[in-house]
């Protein structure tokens, strides 16, 4: 969380990608959601949608999936100029 909050998007993305390679699915799902948050904040909406949908796909019943679905739609609208 800290690199993302401090505006260090590249560092945060690198750390989150390392977490995505972990065996614990709970970590992977949360990391995908948080990567989506960071990417969306950086204006990389297409990549944010991919990260959010990864969280939703990997943990469809998780809190992270429930948070990811509306965020994905919002990022998709912004990316297409509809929002």
Q: Using 50, 70 and 90 to split pLDDT, how confident is the model at 24?
A: confident
The CA angle 73-74-78, to the nearest 5 degrees, is 115
Q: For the residues 35-64, what does the mean pLDDT come to?
A: 87
Q: What local confidence, expressed as pLDDT, does residue 34 receive? A: 87
Q: For the residues 18-33, what does the mean pLDDT come to?
A: 84
Specify the higher pLDDT residue, 50 or 18.
Answer: 50
Please state the pTM of the whole predicted model: 0.71
Q: Which long-range contacts (CB under 8 A, 24 or more apart) does 9-17 make?
A: 9/38, 9/39, 9/41, 9/42, 12/38, 13/38, 13/39
Q: What local confidence, expressed as pLDDT, does residue 63 receive? A: 92
For the four alpha carbons of 70, 35, 4 and 41, in that order, the dihedral sign comes to negative
């Amino acid at each position: 969380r800290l690199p993302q909050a401090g505006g260090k998007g590249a560092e945060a993305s690198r750390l989150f990608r390392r977490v995505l390679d972990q065996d614990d699915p709970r970590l992977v799902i949360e990391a995908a959601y948080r990567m989506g948050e960071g990417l969306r904040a950086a204006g990389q909406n297409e990549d944010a949608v991919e990260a959010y949908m990864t969280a939703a796909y990997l943990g469809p019943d998780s809190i992270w999936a429930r948070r990811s679905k509306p965020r994905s739609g919002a990022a998709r609208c912004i990316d297409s100029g509809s929002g």
